[in-house]
Structure 1
């Protein structure tokens, strides 16, 4: 027997009575790798016809003879293989076992419990796995699938669709937002774990290229910053240097670039070139304005209904995972595409409308139409039609973004400024016209420019000031506690104690208020009597006047009798005249 150990992998070749057991690829069991170790050992036993000995299917013959010797021989081979693929601590724990079957059962009991507690721990691990900075999405997916396999072996039901949903939910970081949106646009029938694994591997490769480029830029910046600063020159040295060197703009001696009078003209030329460059590197403002080149989509999808210039509604909405299927359309969309550095208006046909979904350009559909795609290592994707360069895209943030400009459907664009004024939360009309003139927003191109002072009834009413009532001087002056005003209001929300009403009693002279919470209107009489007694005790003055509205809770027999016995005047306010209530 020859054993060679290197790191965590143990190379072992065992020869027993002419039979060779190669365990060079099997790591020793240390307690943490039981599941993988068990799979490899089971395969080893099956290949050498020892599986029946290990799992207990074949028992030791009772009769002495050749069958018993043959069984002992195979049992010793299995036990030897187990001992050599375990650490010393694990061998110590099973040293009391007499057969390979006993060793196998004891290890299963120690490390593969199917109790309720073990199952709960696996469920917790299954739902707590998330993609982190130190763990790639592919590794996270494999880890989730491993836990799912263990749970299935314990009787749990986890299908492929549930696995895919769990893997997508583990990628909740902002960097995976665009990947999640693109995945949700794939047909439900095609959302399998195999396709998801392929997409994740592609994403990791493209993300790795982006990371390398970013690291290179960062290293270059650090190297540049690490350069030693040049010593400062004196004025005389600078003056002498100007006489010897030429300006980078006008090529004349005596001054430098920052002092050149031709600098403004040169800047204007550079700005013009920069504009031309930015025209070629056009980027839309948000994800809803972008078209994504998708190699997995079976047809084109668009989430903006205002981009369709013609469409047909489906009689029965199709099943699309990103939409609520309230409306399903198929039609044509016009865009401006960058072809050979020139913006050309093109039409995309057979585009399905998915409300709120991403705008996906199907690579498969374009290939079926005879286009050829070329993807180079410099983040450029170019389509060719009959050998001629056609539409193109670029890799950005892990996605293939088409170089398209959206064109808003003119038929769906509103032309009335009043409607846009109301849509934009009653925005200032002058600002609305300025927005149209400067082309600062899509959809305002066809809006008619009317008088900036058009009248909006809602704005006029909201900005108007309600006139105050004419103050009437009172001839009777009451002392505190002599005149009370009351009103009963309904609460917008029911309190924890179930109160739905609140009663306010206000003293006219001192403006002192008492508030009572009530479950029913029938409690008003009791609370009014309590308020009158309270004011009489606190002020020492008897209540002479009590005023309220014409509500039935005030005009009940109990209150009328109480006012009559106490000599209190009961004044009723005019209907629909809240200022007279003074509360």
Structure 2
């Protein structure tokens, strides 16, 4: 029989397919052995052990090598893996309900992670509705998607599907990325303008300071204010002054 092999991680699914396979063969491993059914019981039990071990990895067979009956095999595996399954279920529950969208994740990555956690919950035996998945996706989005969440709540319940939500979130993400790029370009342009203005301020202040300085002193050549002797175009009239006695 073509059965999925048990590798230590899929016990619940493997146990179910073994149950179906044995039922198809008319075998019930819970039936006790008696003197009246000894021959048939041995045949059925041998077939059950063969079906079970044929659908197990060799690493898992090591655990049940000392078992004598199919029932012993199942009991041993249940004692080991059903406890692990409960622990795994608890851990998956914790991951699902504590999950939050990471700052660097895209919308597609966010949705994929939520759906993956929901799938793990289903595989552990839990029932996870589409509404629970949608609620988790919307509830863990960053604040910039607030308007989309509000618009989603106003939709008809028939339109509130995971496929529709994915399409709307991807459109909203593209729109937000475009707005952020425009804001970044504007911010860079403003910074460049401010830097250029600051660089021109010393030059302007130097010119003003030079003008103010000119008005404070008389030209040594003509005696007038407003320029220096070196800027005087007419022939120099300057004569060195003798120091006063």
TM-score (norm 1): 0.24
Q: Please give the alpha-carbon distance, in whole angstroms, between the structure 2 residues aligned to 1:206 and 1:96.
A: 57
Q: Please give the alpha-carbon distance, in whole angstroms, between the structure 2 residues aligned to 1:104 and 1:129.
A: 35
Matches within 5 A, 1:469-548: none
Q: Deviations over 1:102-127 (max 9, x none)?
A: 21222222122189866643432332
Q: Which residue of 2 aligns with 1:36?
A: 13
Q: Of the candidates 98, 117, 123, which is equivalent to residue 93 of structure 2? A: 123
Q: Deviations over 1:122-165 (max 9, x none)?
A: 4323323456658563673363254267475xxxxx78598357
Measured at CA, do residues 31 and 140 of structure 1 come closer, stay the same or move farther in structure 2, by a change above 3 Å? same
Contact 2:6 2:57 in 1 (8 A): yes
- 1:143 matches 2:120: no
- 1:113 matches 2:87: no
Q: Which residue of 1 aligns with 2:71?
A: 101
- 1:73 matches 2:46: no
Measured at CA, do residues 115 and 44 of structure 1 come closer, stay the same or move farther in structure 2, by a change above 3 Å? closer
> Structure 2 stretches of 5 or more lacking a match?
175-245
Which protein is richer in helix relative to its size? Answer: 2
Shift of 1:88: 0.9
Q: Which residue of 2 aligns with 1:201?
A: 163
Contact 1:138 1:201 in 2 (8 A): no
- 1:86 matches 2:56: yes
Which protein is richer in strand relative to its size? Answer: 1
Shift of 1:89: 0.7
Q: Deviations over 1:149-182 (max 9, x none)?
A: 7475xxxxx7859835753356525796666444
Contact 1:127 1:166 in 2 (8 A): no
- Aligned-CA RMSD value: 4.1
Measured at CA, do residues 42 and 146 of structure 1 come closer, stay the same or move farther in structure 2, by a change above 3 Å? farther
- 1:183 matches 2:163: no
Contact 1:126 1:148 in 2 (8 A): no
Contact 1:30 1:86 in 2 (8 A): yes
Q: Please give the alpha-carbon distance, in whole angstroms, between the structure 1 residues aligned to 2:165 and 2:135.
A: 18
Q: Please give the alpha-carbon distance, in whole angstroms, between the structure 2 residues aligned to 1:146 and 1:115.
A: 11
Matches within 5 A, 1:419-430: none
Q: Please give the alpha-carbon distance, in whole angstroms, between the structure 2 residues aligned to 1:176 and 1:103.
A: 53
Q: Of the candidates 11, 29, 32, which is equivalent to residue 59 of structure 1? A: 32
Q: Please give the alpha-carbon distance, in whole angstroms, between the structure 2 residues aligned to 1:71 and 1:34.
A: 26
Q: Please give the alpha-carbon distance, in whole angstroms, between the structure 2 residues aligned to 1:120 and 1:69.
A: 44
TM-score (norm 2): 0.51
Shift of 1:201: 2.9
